[in-house]
Amino acid sequence: MWNRFVVSILWVALSFSFGRNLAQVNQQFGGVEASTTSSASDLSGIWVLEIPAGAGSYSSYAFIKDEPPMTAWAEEKYKAAKPVLGPHKTGPQESNDPVYGCFPPGLPRIYLQNKPMEILQTPEEVIIAYGYDRLVRHIYTDGRGHDDFIDPPLWMGDSVGNWKGDALVVDVIGFNDKTWLDRVGHPHSDGLHIMERFRRPEHGTLIDDITIEDPKAYTKAWTTQLKFQLKAGAEINWEEVCEDERLRQRQ
């Protein structure tokens, strides 16, 4: 009788302790009990770029149909580019596309690489895991600014973000100048500055409004908009490794 009474007391105590700890964990990590995030400001999911109907083939390799407002410096770089896509395409063996040399595609070009991306969200950062080359990008939303000294410059830039209502506004600097903006060879300098505004107007749609600013390469800032569709139940679980010779054989 006494043993059964002691066991009952211990069970109640353990249940109370477990429940209190679970509530604390939910509060700390944004669990069901403590979550106040609306569905519109939750960008989580696996997303695939939508190619607009009737936009023409350019939308699979460039961000805008017309030429962006290039400086003389950028025009010279652009003429020297040998892409495998677009109006001035060449073969993979002759291309000087950095991606065909196994270098990262950089930002914003990575969105055009025909691979899905997965967005993971925590209270302090938004993580984008790209299917292409398994690149991962951390967008910190905890109030920090950019690093004072970014050395060496980065392939994907240094990203910090903040929420404006249900939109995530991302400021990106700190790039090197070794990538192309798109798949046809539009260049940029190490002064590239990108602003992104992610929003989820409906459950299955993600919009990214992009502003590109680079005074050395472009006479004024220019913009583009990307639209992604949610792939419910999908997973990014394959391994992708760049191998130079195999990559050059791909069209």
pLDDT (tens digit, 9 = 90+) per residue, 196-225?
999 999 999 999 999 999 999 999 999 999
Q: Which of 57, 62, 55, 64 is nearest to 81 (CA)?
A: 62
pLDDT, one tens digit per residue, over 3-36 is 444 434 444 343 334 334 433 333 333 333 333 3
Whose structure tokens read 């109370």? 16
Sign of dihedral through CA atoms 197, 57, 188, 95?
positive
Q: Are 235 and 219 in contact (CB under 8 A)?
A: no
The identity of residue 84, as a single letter, is: V
The pLDDT of residue 29:
31
Phi, psi of 246 (to 5 degrees): -65, -40
User: What CA–CA distances, in Å, run from 146 to 142, 159, 172, 214, 215?
Assistant: 12, 7, 9, 18, 20
Q: What percent of the chain has pLDDT over 90?
A: 65
The residue ranking higher by pLDDT, 169 or 4, is: 169
pTM: 0.80
Mean pLDDT confidence for 97-121: 94
pLDDT at 38 over 90: no
* Cα–Cα distance, 169 to 199 (Å, whole number): 9
The identity of residue 98, as a single letter, is: P
Cβ neighbours around 181 below 10 Å, total: 26
The pLDDT of residue 244:
62
Beta-strand pair 222-230/205-213: antiparallel
pLDDT at 81 over 90: yes
The identity of residue 19, as a single letter, is: G
Terminal-residue alpha carbon distance, the chain: 79
List, in sequence order, every residue forming a beta bridge with 126; answer none if it has no partner.
121, 139
Q: Which of 79, 58, 71 is nearest to 182 (CA)?
A: 58
Phi, psi of 203 (to 5 degrees): -55, -40
